[in-house]
Amino acid sequence: MAHKPEELQEVLHYTFKNPALLRIALTHTSYANESKVATTHNERLEFLGDSVLSVVVADYLFHQSGRPEGELTRMRASLVSEDALFQFAQEIQLGEYLRLGHGEDLGGGRSRPSVVSDAFEAVIAALYLDGGMEAARNFILPFITEGKTAEDDYKTRLQEVVQQDPSAVLKYEVTGETGPDHNKQFTVCVWRNGELLAEGRGRSKKAAEQHAAKVALEKLQ
């Protein structure tokens, strides 16, 4: 059972002055095509949201890092990729709020990365149009400053340290899950050859894994 678009406002911690913008952001082309009345879908908002996201991410990386242009470009690409946006969207269960056509819904559209990541960009545009750059930035920043970023990929760094011993094997395991669906907290343990290295927490499994890897690195180094 899909959630109503209006219910997403609680998850976003933002109340729209024009709720129609949020409804459009969550409306897939398949829904508009099947509708008996003229319905606006989210493709134009997706176009705008892509640009707003890119500006917010670029601004954040520019001020947080003194790295050269090439590295900044790579880091931005990592954070605005479909994979990253799909992960961010899953953290707020965005797929559950989408208005999809019957066939798209039955075909698994709510968990399709292309559909969900496009809607994530459309939601950014809706926030931008309704509340300006500040509203969009407030929504985007918690996602890009927590968990995996190209700047702080602790899992990769831990793997590199551990692989100095070729027989070493790392394993991540979710050991806890608390909180309501829209505000979950995960606990993850990282093991090396069966030995507990560290425990981490985050609002997604990936964020918790990164935190566990960070704690493990601090211990090992």
Residue ranges of the binding site for Mg(2+): 46, 118, 121
What is the distance, to the nearest Å, from the Cα of residue 96 to the centroid of all Cα atoms in its chain?
A: 15
For helices 113-144 and 82-91, give the axis angle rounded to 10 degrees: 80
CB 174 within 8 A of CB 185: no
Binding-site positions: 46, 118, 121
DSSP label at residue 181 = G
Residue 150 CB contacts under 8 Å (≥ 6 apart), including other chains: 74, 75, 77, 78, 79
Q: Which has the closest alpha carbon to 145: 52, 65, 48, 71?
A: 65
Cα gap 34→3, rounded to integer Å: 19
Catalytic residue numbers read 50, 121
